[in-house]
Amino acid sequence: MTGKRNAFRHPELPEFDAAYEEHFDFVWRTLRRYGVPEAAMDDAVQDAFLVVHSRLHTFEGRSSLRTWIFGIARRVARNHRLSRAEWASADVLEAPPDDSSSPLAALETVEGARLLERLLAGLVPERREAFILVKLEEMTILEASEALGVNANTIYSRVRTACRELEEALVRLSLRREGP
């Protein structure tokens, strides 16, 4: 960031370019996981970072920058997201193939992401959201609590219940595949 705004910047506040570089992938994943369709991703990411850019000077540090940016991405996703039915059938968690892997390994990665997506679609939104933040995005319970605006014990309970429900769904799916 340059110009007048930079002259009044709090010394511990990150530059926009650094925040963009560090959090771009996180914002992209958050938007996809909140149901933003592939066709709208460029616009949604741009919208999220426009808000970050325009409001970065107001960041007070009461939470981590990542948690603050998550809140922005979550709100932007509301304007771009798919309906619940579309979300359940979309490739929300599709993982890009690893260029260094074999075609079979890349296919297994994508198939694994699609399976996780289907299993997550079976969770109630509150549990899915807590699970994604804590288990997939590796936020702490306290960070997820701040990001979602709920008690830390509630996040812990949601994640624990989501893990149990995902395990049960995976067992049911395995039993169905094996047949009688």
- pLDDT mean by block of 10 residues, the chain; 180 residues: 44 83 94 85 95 92 90 89 50 49 65 81 92 92 94 97 94 78
Query: What domains are defined for the chain?
Result: 7-92 (1.10.1740.10), 106-180 (1.10.10.10)
The two three-digit tokens of residue 163, written as one number: 């893990």
User: Are the C-beta atoms of residues 128 and 120 closer than 8 Å to each other?
Assistant: yes
How high is the pLDDT of residue 107? 61
- Which distant-in-sequence residues (6+ apart) come within 8 Å of 31 by Cβ? 41, 44, 45, 48, 73, 76, 77, 80
